[in-house]
Protein backbone atom coordinates (compact mmCIF):
# COMPACT_ATOMS: atom_id res chain seq x y z
CA UNK A 1 0.00 0.00 0.00
CA UNK A 2 1.35 3.41 -0.90
CA UNK A 3 1.73 6.27 1.53
CA UNK A 4 -1.01 8.87 1.44
CA UNK A 5 0.24 12.46 1.35
CA UNK A 6 -0.68 14.63 4.31
CA UNK A 7 -2.67 16.96 2.07
CA UNK A 8 -4.90 14.07 0.97
CA UNK A 9 -5.54 13.12 4.59
CA UNK A 10 -6.46 16.71 5.42
CA UNK A 11 -8.78 16.91 2.40
CA UNK A 12 -10.47 13.65 3.32
CA UNK A 13 -10.94 14.86 6.90
CA UNK A 14 -12.41 18.12 5.61
CA UNK A 15 -14.71 16.18 3.29
CA UNK A 16 -15.85 14.04 6.20
CA UNK A 17 -16.60 17.15 8.22
CA UNK A 18 -18.44 18.70 5.28
CA UNK A 19 -20.69 15.68 4.79
CA UNK A 20 -21.42 15.65 8.52
CA UNK A 21 -22.31 19.33 8.32
CA UNK A 22 -24.63 18.64 5.38
CA UNK A 23 -26.33 15.86 7.35
CA UNK A 24 -26.78 18.09 10.41
CA UNK A 25 -28.12 20.89 8.22
CA UNK A 26 -30.64 18.50 6.67
CA UNK A 27 -31.71 17.29 10.11
CA UNK A 28 -32.11 20.82 11.50
CA UNK A 29 -33.78 22.19 8.39
CA UNK A 30 -36.25 19.38 7.94
CA UNK A 31 -36.90 18.95 11.66
CA UNK A 32 -37.74 15.82 13.55
CA UNK A 33 -40.22 14.46 11.07
CA UNK A 34 -40.60 11.43 8.90
CA UNK A 35 -39.45 13.47 5.94
CA UNK A 36 -36.33 14.60 7.79
CA UNK A 37 -35.43 11.04 8.77
CA UNK A 38 -35.95 9.77 5.24
CA UNK A 39 -33.89 12.62 3.78
CA UNK A 40 -30.99 12.06 6.17
CA UNK A 41 -30.99 8.31 5.68
CA UNK A 42 -31.20 8.67 1.90
CA UNK A 43 -28.27 11.08 1.80
CA UNK A 44 -26.04 9.04 4.09
CA UNK A 45 -26.93 5.81 2.29
CA UNK A 46 -25.86 7.29 -1.02
CA UNK A 47 -22.50 8.28 0.41
CA UNK A 48 -21.89 4.91 2.07
CA UNK A 49 -22.79 2.97 -1.08
CA UNK A 50 -20.37 4.93 -3.21
CA UNK A 51 -17.61 4.62 -0.60
CA UNK A 52 -18.08 0.85 -0.63
CA UNK A 53 -18.02 0.66 -4.40
CA UNK A 54 -15.11 3.03 -5.02
CA UNK A 55 -12.89 2.39 -2.01
CA UNK A 56 -13.56 -0.87 -0.18
CA UNK A 57 -14.15 -3.30 -3.03
CA UNK A 58 -11.42 -2.47 -5.62
CA UNK A 59 -8.40 -3.01 -3.35
CA UNK A 60 -9.24 -6.60 -2.36
CA UNK A 61 -10.07 -7.32 -6.00
CA UNK A 62 -6.49 -6.44 -6.96
CA UNK A 63 -5.00 -8.39 -4.05
CA UNK A 64 -6.99 -11.65 -4.03
CA UNK A 65 -8.74 -11.46 -7.39
CA UNK A 66 -12.13 -10.47 -8.71
CA UNK A 67 -13.80 -13.85 -8.16
CA UNK A 68 -12.83 -14.17 -4.51
CA UNK A 69 -13.82 -10.56 -3.87
CA UNK A 70 -17.15 -11.04 -5.64
CA UNK A 71 -17.77 -14.18 -3.61
CA UNK A 72 -16.96 -12.38 -0.37
CA UNK A 73 -19.31 -9.52 -1.28
CA UNK A 74 -22.07 -12.01 -2.15
CA UNK A 75 -21.56 -13.87 1.15
CA UNK A 76 -21.68 -10.57 3.02
CA UNK A 77 -24.93 -9.60 1.31
CA UNK A 78 -26.39 -13.03 2.06
CA UNK A 79 -25.35 -12.72 5.70
CA UNK A 80 -27.03 -9.32 6.01
CA UNK A 81 -30.19 -10.62 4.31
CA UNK A 82 -30.39 -13.53 6.77
CA UNK A 83 -29.31 -11.64 9.89
CA UNK A 84 -31.44 -8.51 9.40
CA UNK A 85 -34.81 -10.07 10.30
CA UNK A 86 -33.24 -11.91 13.26
CA UNK A 87 -31.59 -8.90 14.90
CA UNK A 88 -33.75 -6.53 16.90
CA UNK A 89 -33.74 -2.98 15.63
CA UNK A 90 -35.23 0.39 16.45
CA UNK A 91 -38.33 1.61 14.71
CA UNK A 92 -37.40 5.12 13.74
CA UNK A 93 -40.23 6.43 11.60
CA UNK A 94 -43.93 6.52 12.45
CA UNK A 95 -45.88 6.36 9.19
CA UNK A 96 -49.64 6.69 9.46
CA UNK A 97 -49.71 5.45 13.05
CA UNK A 98 -47.37 2.51 12.46
CA UNK A 99 -43.67 2.49 13.33
CA UNK A 100 -41.52 1.55 10.39
CA UNK A 101 -38.03 0.06 10.59
CA UNK A 102 -35.05 1.18 8.55
CA UNK A 103 -35.34 -1.54 5.90
CA UNK A 104 -38.90 -0.43 5.10
CA UNK A 105 -38.02 3.22 4.41
CA UNK A 106 -37.73 2.96 0.62
CA UNK A 107 -41.49 3.15 -0.06
CA UNK A 108 -41.78 6.10 2.32
CA UNK A 109 -38.85 7.84 0.63
CA UNK A 110 -40.52 7.35 -2.73
CA UNK A 111 -43.81 8.64 -1.33
CA UNK A 112 -42.22 11.83 -0.03
CA UNK A 113 -40.02 12.28 -3.11
CA UNK A 114 -36.76 12.18 -1.14
CA UNK A 115 -34.94 9.76 -3.42
CA UNK A 116 -33.14 12.74 -4.96
CA UNK A 117 -31.05 13.01 -1.78
CA UNK A 118 -29.77 9.47 -2.30
CA UNK A 119 -28.63 10.55 -5.75
CA UNK A 120 -27.13 13.75 -4.34
CA UNK A 121 -25.09 11.69 -1.88
CA UNK A 122 -23.84 9.51 -4.73
CA UNK A 123 -22.95 12.49 -6.91
CA UNK A 124 -21.11 14.32 -4.12
CA UNK A 125 -19.11 11.22 -3.30
CA UNK A 126 -18.16 10.54 -6.92
CA UNK A 127 -17.12 14.16 -7.46
CA UNK A 128 -15.01 14.16 -4.29
CA UNK A 129 -13.41 10.83 -5.21
CA UNK A 130 -12.58 11.92 -8.74
CA UNK A 131 -11.27 15.25 -7.50
CA UNK A 132 -8.91 13.53 -5.09
CA UNK A 133 -7.79 11.10 -7.80
CA UNK A 134 -6.92 14.02 -10.07
CA UNK A 135 -5.01 15.81 -7.30
CA UNK A 136 -2.95 12.81 -6.26
pLDDT digits (tens, 9 = 90+) for 23-66: 667 666 766 666 666 666 677 777 777 777 777 777 778 888 88
The closest of 134, 5, 71 to 126, measured between CA atoms, is 134
Q: What is the reported pTM?
A: 0.42
Scanning 52-65, the segments in alpha helix (DSSP H) are 58-64
pLDDT surpassing 60 at residue 107: no
**Which residues, at least 6 apart from 37, have a Cβ–Cβ distance to it below 8 Å?**
92, 93, 105
Average pLDDT, the chain: 67
Burial class of residue 21 in the structure, from the number of CB atoms within 10 Å of its CB (0-12 exposed, 13-18 middle, 19+ buried):
exposed
Amino acid sequence: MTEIPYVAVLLLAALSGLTTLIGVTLALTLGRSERGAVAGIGFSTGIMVIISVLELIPEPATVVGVWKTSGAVALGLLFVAVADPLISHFHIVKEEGVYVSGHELLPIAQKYGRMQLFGLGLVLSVVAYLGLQLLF
